[in-house]
């Protein structure tokens, strides 16, 4: 139940922030929040992380659906390790958030811009944090499954 709530919260936050970005910015517009450090910059990412493999939407849709199914099946095993479940929940929410963009827009909406890093979104952040937690859990914790 905790993971479901986490997924709903992250997915809602992701979609709400993307909606706000698209309603308040034009494509490629950048608004400094902390000048020279952090901007809100609207881009349409037609690739994967860092814009690699541009215009391969069908590949990303199939890969995302496959990942969502695997994560869901893993969560159904009802492992007692909470951090493992949270990490999968974060990855799941991010994967669904970016899949929604790809299915309905044909691209992923990115807007968080730290200027020294490619522009990203809440879903990307959830996937990254989830992957780090998952790796840490697998490497340093005994999983009781």
Active centre residues (catalytic): 110, 124
Q: Is the dihedral of CA 24, 25, 31, 33 positive or negative?
A: positive
CA distance 3 to 78: 11
Q: Where are the alpha helices (DSSP H) in the chain?
A: 2-24, 57-76, 82-105, 122-140
Cβ neighbours of 101 (radius 10 Å): 21
CA gap 72, 88 in Å, rounded: 8
């Amino acid at each position: 139940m905790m993971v479901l709530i986490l997924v709903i919260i992250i997915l809602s936050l992701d979609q709400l922030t993307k909606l706000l970005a698209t309603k308040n910015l034009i494509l490629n517009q950048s608004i400094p929040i902390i000048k020279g450090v952090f901007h809100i910059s609207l881009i349409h990412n037609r690739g994967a992380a860092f814009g690699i493999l541009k215009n391969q939407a069908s590949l990303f849709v199939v890969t995302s659906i496959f990942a969502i199914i695997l994560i869901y099946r893993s969560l159904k095993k009802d492992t007692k390790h909470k951090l493992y479940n949270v990490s999968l929940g974060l990855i799941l929410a991010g994967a669904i958030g970016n899949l929604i963009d790809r299915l309905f827009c044909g691209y992923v909406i990115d807007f968080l811009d730290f200027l020294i890093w490619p522009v990203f979104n809440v879903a990307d952040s959830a996937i990254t944090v989830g992957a780090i937690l998952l790796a840490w859990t697998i490497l340093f914790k005994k999983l009781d499954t």
